[in-house]
Amino acid sequence: MNFSLFYLSPELILALGGIAALFVGLASKSRKGFPWPEVFCLLVLAAALVPTIAMLTMGRVTSGTSIFGGIFAVDGLAMFFKIVALISTGIVTLISTDFFRRIRFHRGEYYALLIFATLAITTLAASADLIMIYLTLEFLSLTSYILAGYLKQDTKSNEAAVKYFLYGSIASAVMIYGMSLIYGLTGTTNIVEIASTFKVNPASYSLLYLAVVMLLAGFGYKIAMVPFHQWSPDVYEGAPTPVTAFLSVGSKAAGFAVLIRVFATGISTAILDWAGLIMVLSAVTMTVGNLVAIPQTNIKRMLAYSSIGQAGYLLLGVAAMAYSSIALPSVLLYIFAYTFTNLGAFAVVSMISTRIKSDYIRDYAGLIRRAPAAAVAMVFFMLSLAGIPPTAGFLGKFYIFAAAIQSGNSWLLALTIVAIINTIISVYYYMNVVRYMFFVKAKRIEPIEQPGIMNFVIGMTFAMTIIILVYAGPFISMAHISSGMFKGI
């Protein structure tokens, strides 16, 4: 066993940092003065990011490395999702700083929970054992429930937390049933051993199939995949906007991490053609997400459906993994691009909504006069989500579609056409926001205050949205290095 404490250092830093954050919160009760909890949270995340990047770039990580008897993988896939989680939580922390400025709440606990949720994602990304996956998924869910209901006085926030909790419990119950079926079939919970057991001893096809569908209920709920998506618009709408941002990026990425690991490593397509199943779900997910996004009037609900649609495109990439070697790097690149774009969009929403005290798209009318910089940045975030150049989203979609086409599989080709039609549909509701911001006359014209920290967040995410396309080389090679250090079947 090649065990080293170094492999575990991001998780150790996050665990200790999360506990320490509680005490930092106790020590700084005053809302005026230096923002210790926020700064401490950022420091912890940065401290965890350093060994993660070091492991990815210094060659300490190889495909198939794992510790603790194979339940904790130390490979490129895990590292990539850890980086995404740490960066996105960092941005969410910055957004939170502004969002909670006028609201009385328990700061120390909030940031501690954010750190714990991040710890859950990083551990989930590395979990290579069904038990471990279940535990970390629950860990992530539980922290997320609390975060979603963090605005205690707000009934919508309470509703979100309760709905999220009940729905999540059902989904994870279904999932653990599926896991128990797999354990029954193979006698092991380690996904590498599951794969090798299936190879020598093919299981009953129908039972395995049922188990896979049940697993998908759990994973699909995390990534908001149709038909396990219905919690997301309600939760996204009710949760505090920074938490919504966290759920739409970090939590979703965690779901994809575990989905990719279990399917690529644990279940060979020779035994079960899961790619076909994913393709069907992909088509349904993107179509439902994009169609229902159209009539939405609340921008957070619109972004919820938008992120369901985005999950659909990503599922297309996951399905292509069965046929194409460039599919996995494409998915990773897409997730990276999506991270900055979606967080940027939520940063704008958070900043504007807290000031105009409305989440309705119609209240964004004339934003170009009231907050010109934010409005312009929002245009680019919308373009990126729709996958239109000159933005990162275009690069991501281009790579995923290219991978699907390169695979040569005719079903994937058909699905790509569906995806392209969906992209066109999505332009309608994305540009609807732009239409309101630029062309609809505002009822009020006084400028909206833009604090420096939000200018920084929006500017940074905006810059990344452009840079990932313009200077794509490093990001493409990061995706390739990460996927190169991950071995599926």
Partner 1 sequence: MCDFSKNIMELTWLIPVLPILAFGLILLTGRRGPGEGAYIGIAGIAASFLLSLAVTVITVASALGGHEFHPFTHSVVWATLGNIDVRMGFAVDQLTVMMLMVVTTVTLLVQVYSIGYMHGDPRYPRYYAYLSLFSAAMLSLVISDNLLLFYMSWELVGLASYLLIGFWFEKPSAMRAAKKAFIVTRLGDVGLFLGLIVLFWYTGTVNMQEMFAAVPSLMGTTLKIASVALPVLPLAGILLFAGAVGKSAQFPLHVWLPDAMEGPTPVSALIHAATMVAAGVYLVGRMYPVFAYEPHSITLTVVTVIGVTTAIMAATIATVQHDIKRVLAYSTISQLGYMMFGLGVGGYTAGLLHLMTHAFFKANLFLGSGSVIHGTGTQDMRQMGGLSKKMPTTYWTFLIATAALMGLPFTSGFFSKDEILLEAFHTSLPIFWLGLGAAFLTAFYMTRLVALTFWGEARDPSIHAHESPRVMTIPLIVLAVLSLVSGYIAWPSNNIFHHLVHFGDGAAVPFSWTVMLLATSAAFLGLGLGLALYLRPVISPSIFREKLPWAYNLLQNKFYFDEFYWAVLVVPLFWITKVLARFDARIVDGLVNGVGYATLGLSIAYSWFDRVVVDGIVNLVGGATRISGRVLRYGQTGVLQNYALVAFTGVLVLAWFYLFR
Residues engaged in binding partner 1 (CB under 8 A): 163, 166-167, 170-171, 174, 206, 209-210, 213-214, 216-217, 221, 226-228, 230-231, 233-234, 277, 280-281, 288, 291-295, 425, 428
203 torsion bin: left (phi>0), alpha (psi -120 to 50), beta (else): beta
Is the previous residue joined to 372 through a cis bond, with omega within 30 degrees of 0? Answer: no
Q: How far is the CB of 125 from partner 1 (least distance, A)?
A: 25
Nearer to partner 1, 134 or 209 (CB): 209
User: Cα angle vertex 320, ends 314, 321, to 5°?
Assistant: 95
Q: Find where tokens 């000159």 sit.
A: 390
Nearer to partner 1, 288 or 458 (CB): 288
Between CA 212 and CA 307 the distance in angstroms is 24
Q: How far is the CB of 433 from partner 1 (least distance, A)?
A: 16
Between CA 333 and CA 338 the distance in angstroms is 8
H/E element, 134 = helix 130-148
Contact 272, 208 (CB under 8 A): yes
The dihedrals phi and psi of 129, each to the nearest 5 degrees, come to: -145, 140
User: Cα angle vertex 151, ends 150, 157, to 5°?
Assistant: 90
Nearer to partner 1, 19 or 166 (CB): 166
Q: How far is the CB of 178 from partner 1 (least distance, A)?
A: 9
| 376, amino acid identity | V
Q: How far is the CB of 39 from partner 1 (least distance, A)?
A: 36
Nearer to partner 1, 287 or 339 (CB): 287
Q: How far is the CB of 226 from partner 1 (least distance, A)?
A: 8
Find residue 32's DSSP bridge partners. none
Contact 369, 358 (CB under 8 A): no
Q: How far is the CB of 170 from partner 1 (least distance, A)?
A: 5
Nearer to partner 1, 277 or 442 (CB): 277
Count the helix, strand and coil residues of the chain and give each as a percent rounded to the nearest 5: 75, 0, 20
Enter the tokens of residue 121: 């994602």
Nearer to partner 1, 125 or 292 (CB): 292
Q: How far is the CB of 233 from partner 1 (least distance, A)?
A: 6
Contact 235, 149 (CB under 8 A): no
Nearer to partner 1, 181 or 481 (CB): 181
Nearer to partner 1, 46 or 166 (CB): 166
Nearer to partner 1, 251 or 391 (CB): 251
Enter the tokens of residue 164: 């999220």
The dihedrals phi and psi of 345, each to the nearest 5 degrees, come to: -60, -45
Q: How far is the CB of 237 from partner 1 (least distance, A)?
A: 10
Q: How far is the CB of 44 from partner 1 (least distance, A)?
A: 35
Contact 329, 336 (CB under 8 A): no
Report residue 44 CA to chain centroid gap.
Answer: 20
